[in-house]
Amino acid sequence: MFAFRETLALDPDPASGSRVEVAFTDVSLDLREGDRLGAALAALSDAAGVPFSRLDQVHGAAVVAVTGPADELPSADGQVAAARGVGLMVRVADCVPVVLADPTAGVLGAAHAGRRGVELDVVTRTVEGMRALGAADIVAWVGPHICGRCYEVPATMREEVAAAVPTTYAETSWGTPALDLGAGVSAQLAAAGVAATRVPGCTLEDRRFHSHRRDGAAAGRFAGLVWLS
């Protein structure tokens, strides 16, 4: 179920048993909308021990503060929380999943950074939302995504996005225009003063992950997750 999982002790009381948990799911779990989503979410909640708040992701830069799962999904691409007993989820199939935490303050964040979200800087908006909840020392994990060697785009699109985020400018391994969304997200996090861990894996090349570029309409969705256990 989890291709990557990391646990951080909460400060200043690591003996309390509370932990910040970070994970990225693998292809064995399909979290796309549909009849099977309920069972997949239930399995994920059982494994993590918390329910997960998810979003109606619209490839924008809106960020919402949440206290738990909602019956009507917020239309946003970032979410932040300072509540225990709830996890944050973003779902992807080539875009960049970013999860964030301030272990001392117990503030969490998650962002879905596709091409448009990187251009609009949804990651920085998410950091700002966390700071509004009291976060000060934020760390981030940049999850598996389609890499710059594989994410071919029209030349005009590359120029447009790179004009806003220069580090996204890339070329495929076969010599055509591309975007490196992970490099763009990493640069935005660094500019916001957030230390980041890059979790390896190109979704197009690595079959542990769902990929829309590889599988088209049949592609599932995997998730970036962060929660307080």
Instruction: Enumerate the domain spans of the chain.
Output: 18-228
Which range has the worst mean pLDDT, 7-16, 42-51, 84-93, 147-156?
A: 7-16
| pLDDT at position 84 | 84
- Architecture per CATH, 18-228: 4-Layer Sandwich (3.60)
* pLDDT at residue number 10: 65
Binned at pLDDT 50, 70 and 90, residue 13 comes out as: low
pLDDT at 61: 98
Question: What is the pLDDT averaged over residues 172-185?
Answer: 98
Residue 107 has pLDDT above 90, yes or no: yes
Radius of gyration of the CA atoms of the chain, in A:
17
- CA-based nearest residue to 100, from 124, 120, 64: 124
**Cβ 117 vs Cβ 61: under 8 Å:** yes
Judged against a pLDDT cut of 70, whether residue 108 lies above it is answered with yes
Look at residue 14 and tell me whether its pLDDT is greater than 90. Answer: no
Residue found under tokens 């998650």: 110
Contact yes or no for 118/185 (Cβ under 8 A): yes
pLDDT of residue 21: 96
What's the pLDDT at 76?
98
pLDDT of residue 80: 98
Q: Would you give the end-to-end CA distance of the chain in angstroms?
A: 18
Which pLDDT value is given to residue 171? 98
Q: Which residues contact 173 (CB under 8 A, 6 or more apart)?
A: 149, 150
Q: Which of 116, 128, 118, 130 is nearest to 88 (CA)?
A: 130
**Residue 163: pLDDT band with limits 50, 70, 90:** very high
pLDDT of residue 54: 97
Please, which residues bridge with residue 112 across strands? 97
Mean local confidence (pLDDT), 105-117: 97
Query: Average pLDDT of the chain?
Result: 95
pLDDT at 77: 98
